[in-house]
Structure 1
Amino acid sequence: MTDSPTAARLARFKIGDIVKHRVYPFRGVIFDVDPVFANTEEWLQSIPAEIRPRRDQPFYHLLAENAEATYVAYVSEQNLLPDDSGKPCRHPMIRDLFFGPEAGAYHRKETRLN
């Protein structure tokens, strides 16, 4: 498989889904999706080569949380799993962007530009 941006595919998860990291102990709510890697080269190179994600997959912006803190995370699709804990997320920005959770996901609030 190549790292070509033309190799983009459909995202497995959608905005509002609650997901967890496959390796690290954090979870979160998806608030944006990039069809392929769209962060800096420095960010990508900071990840050890043996676990560095491929560029040719969706990357998700999460309102993330772990046991100690809430933060924003950028995670490749290969490193995410559905979170089936049934627990709501506690990130303080969730209430600004979403309703819920309901049926295991959050639902976007309508936003007005004017």
Structure 2
Amino acid sequence: MGKRATKIVETRYAIGQVVKHRLYPFRGVVFDVDPEFDNTDEWYDSIPEDVRPSKEQPYYHLLAENDDSEYVAYVSEQNLVLDESGTPVRHPQVEEIFDWNSEKNRYMTRDNFGH
């Protein structure tokens, strides 16, 4: 078996950070990161071409919310900005994974909370 090259990718956001979409009215907490696009072509092609992001960048899995609902979102790095509101995310799954750290204005995964 050959060695598989590992690609090191710098990401702007970390697991536990609260971010918001740059164009659309939703926000969420990062719970996973893909170094580059890793979803279906159908999903990608459903994005309007004039706002379709490049596949060659990190993509973030968010426990997201808008004014009407909570859901899981998959968003390119170029479409995210840091949410500095200091308001916890109300998504019902957040508490299964994270604890809110008000001093750091972010979530900490339960296994390293307090460190």
Give the whole-Å Cα distance in 1 for the aligned partners of 2:110 and 2:42: 34
2:68 paired with 1:68: yes
Aligned equivalent of 1:3: none
Unaligned runs of 5+ in 2: 1-5
Runs of 4+ in 1 over 3 A off after TM superposition: 6-9
Give the whole-Å Cα distance in 1 for the aligned partners of 2:64 and 2:72: 5
Aligned equivalent of 2:52: 52
Mark the CA change 1:23 to 1:17 in structure 2 (over 3 Å): closer, same or farther: same
TM-score, normalising length: structure 2: 0.87
Instruction: Find the residue that maps to 1:60 and give its secondary structure.
Output: strand
Report how far residue 8 of structure 1 moved: 7.0
Contact persistence 1:19–1:80 (CA under 8 A):
yes
Identity %: 54
2:108 paired with 1:101: no
Give the whole-Å Cα distance in 1 for the aligned partners of 2:84 and 2:48: 29
Give the whole-Å Cα distance in 2 for the aligned partners of 1:76 and 1:8: 17
Instruction: Find the residue that maps to 1:107 and give its secondary structure.
Output: strand
Q: CA RMSD in A?
A: 1.8
Aligned equivalent of 2:3: none
Question: How many residue pairs were aligned?
Answer: 106
TM-score, normalising length: structure 1: 0.88
Report how far residue 86 of structure 1 moved: 1.1
Instruction: Find the residue that maps to 2:50 and give its secondary structure.
Output: helix
